[in-house]
Structure 1
Amino acid sequence: MATKTKAKDDTTHLPQTFEPRNPGMALDLDWVLGVHANRSAIERRAATLPGRRSVKKDHQAAWLCRAISCIDLTTLSGDDTEGRVRRLCAKARQPVRADILQELGMEGLTTGAVCVYHDMVPTAVRALEGSNIPVAAVSTGFPAGLSPFNLRVAEIHASVEAGAREIDIVISRRHVLQGNWQALYDEMRAFRAACGEAHVKAILATGELGTLKNVARASLVCMMAGADFIKTSTGKESVNATLPVSLVMIRAIRDYHQRTGVRVGYKPAGGISKAKDSLTYLALMKDELGDRWLQPDLFRFGASSLLGDIERQLEHHVTGRYSASHRHAIG
């Protein structure tokens, strides 16, 4: 079958395995202020994406397995418990039933990471011990990012010391809305330094930035300041990941790579819950950035319910039958 590929080598690595960290660069305001976004052209291009690529049968199963390997399996609820986090980590280790993975030739498949609040980092680290699956912690006053600056930096230090190997930070939206790019750069630079060896994902909260031009400029500034990933949303905004926003951010990544030679990762988060949507995002990455960005060290989905729908589709591929969604509960 086409899905019987070298799954373990491709899916169970850390981000550090392949790609050097983004060292950042000096803030180039001429470059930043020269960035614009043609909304009508962007939306027209985004509207064509869902129907442009259609993968079926073994090829679709292979793409869905790749999507699983790129999921940051996430629980960010006020009622999170240690038991829920341990169940989530067990699901990250074994995201699909063993017999289905065996039939697909994808034994050893795991999710890309597990993402939790700081208080749950030690629990997740213990639950994932020996798996090579990193723990990601949301930080810096997530989701609003309005706590005192020194506390936001201290929170990063605490999560790294607790064992988090990836930190998802939220930027101060006001810096973008006021066009204060130096302040955004300095803030992101400080967060990057506080992360140390941990990879840092910069959450732009694009639904609150007002315009696609702001999204493009904020993306570029965060990369200049050393972000290893740029991420759409916290998942708590009224508007989260969308294809137009993704297109803007991905093209900013492409421009940054063309000018600096540095590859920065991308993470759409919030509202991606269907397997067919994951295929659209993977196709977008392939079209705009190429195959290299289809690896977990450069692409992640911020999701939880997405995994359940992908598992249902893979079971249908193997057995010819759809199962009830409650049979694929995550937590």
Structure 2
Amino acid sequence: MDLDLSWVRAVQANTSAIERRAATLPGRRSVKKNHQAAWLCKAISLIDLTTLSGDDTEGRVRRLCAKARQPVRADILDALGMQDLTTGAVCVYHDMVETAVDALRGSGIPVAAVSTGFPAGLSPYKLRIAEIGESVAAGAEEIDIVITRRHVLQGNWQALYDEMREMRAACGEAHVKAILATGELGTLRNVARASLVCMMAGADFIKTSTGKESVNATLPVSLTMIRAIRDYEAHTGYKVGYKPAGGISKAKDALTYLALIKDELGDRWLQPDLFRFGASSLLGDIERQLEHHVTGAYSASWRHAAG
């Protein structure tokens, strides 16, 4: 849609109220036994299993893709009746897209590529746009782009809109996730306004963080972005997805985020086309919790290797 600056400038965020609401979330919803196991299996199906390290190799990416195909040990999946469970996607740097596409061939699991000068987003603009095209050509079905933070910090909403719209166009048929790097935006009001502008410009998802900032996904930021998604859907009828990324490593945290999504947006958002976790270590803790559910005992983490 066209940029509606009057709507953007009218957006406010009551920080103290948001923080109070977020502080109540971990204790308000509790699921146990079979219900907990079911929610944890749901969480696995929503994970973008990620490796974004400078020392990534083809072997590491192929092992990660094998884990995405079978995220939990076969005996545990058999006991749960969840033999076909997979993660939502595999997320890698552009250089590893072809390897991941080859390793996931026939699985139906999409490959997501981080792009546009990830994580800082400060490489030359033409190169950032070209990088999107290269990742799509290599087979990435999802593109995680990073916005230029200074547009938000300076309140230059037109520049942010134009940038996001051009990146959306460069993605073609691929889904685009706009990474706001919320830990660097200063205020929750900036987070809310940036979320709205990116949605207006065509983002399929809005995402909290690159995972490389000092502050990544938090419940107050998540509540702010989810409310922006809810308002946008109410005004336009268009559903935009949400992806918290960075710092979510425990099964109990995943349950809190799922409860937040269910409360604020409803069951429709608990599907891979509208919600993802950006995580790597989260899967290991969920697998340990599922083994405890099946056997009654916790095992050592090495029994659930990410490769």
From 96, 100, 103, the equivalent of 2:76 is 100
Alpha-carbon distance in structure 2 between the residues aligned to 1:327 and 1:238 = 31
Alpha-carbon distance in structure 1 between the residues aligned to 2:86 and 2:204 = 21
Which ranges of structure 1 fall in alignment gaps of 5 or more residues?
1-24
Match of 2:258 in 1: 282
Match of 2:201 in 1: 225
Match of 2:174 in 1: 198
Alpha-carbon distance in structure 2 between the residues aligned to 1:149 and 1:187 = 9
* Equivalent runs, 1:129-208 vs 2, <5 Å: 129-208=105-184
SS at structure 1 position matched to 2:214: coil
Q: Does 1:307 align with 2:287?
A: no
CA-CA distance at 1:327 after TM superposition: 1.6
SS at structure 2 position matched to 1:164: coil
Further displaced range: 211-220 or 95-104: 95-104
Alpha-carbon distance in structure 2 between the residues aligned to 1:285 and 1:53 = 12
Q: Aligned pairs, how many?
A: 307
Which ranges of structure 2 fall in alignment gaps of 5 or more residues?
none
From 237, 262, 268, the equivalent of 1:292 is 268
Structure 1 length-normalised TM = 0.92
Match of 1:112 in 2: 88
Q: Does 1:213 align with 2:213?
A: no
Report the aligned-residue RMSD. 0.4
CA-CA distance at 1:326 after TM superposition: 1.7
Alpha-carbon distance in structure 1 between the residues aligned to 2:301 and 2:78 = 21
AA of the residue aligned to 1:33: R
AA of the residue aligned to 1:311: E
AA of the residue aligned to 1:102: D
SS at structure 2 position matched to 1:132: coil
Q: State the Cα deviation string for residues 51-102 of structure 1 (Å, max 9, x = none).
A: 0000000000000000000000000000000000000000000000111111
Structure 2 length-normalised TM = 1.00
Question: Stretches of 4+ moved more than 4 A in 1?
Answer: none
From 30, 41, 59, the equivalent of 1:83 is 59
Alpha-carbon distance in structure 2 between the residues aligned to 1:202 and 1:328 = 32
Q: Does 1:325 align with 2:301?
A: yes
Alpha-carbon distance in structure 2 between the residues aligned to 1:320 and 1:44 = 36
Q: State the Cα deviation string for residues 88-124 of structure 1 (Å, max 9, x = none).
A: 0000000001111111111100000000000000000
Q: Does 1:253 align with 2:229?
A: yes
AA of the residue aligned to 2:136: V
AA of the residue aligned to 2:172: G
CA-CA distance at 1:323 after TM superposition: 0.6
Q: State the Cα deviation string for residues 199-229 of structure 1 (Å, max 9, x = none).
A: 0000000000000000000000000000000
Q: Does 1:238 align with 2:246?
A: no
From 1, 12, 21, the equivalent of 1:36 is 12
Alpha-carbon distance in structure 1 between the residues aligned to 2:174 and 2:304 = 31
AA of the residue aligned to 2:22: A
AA of the residue aligned to 1:49: L
Instruction: Give % identity.
Output: 87
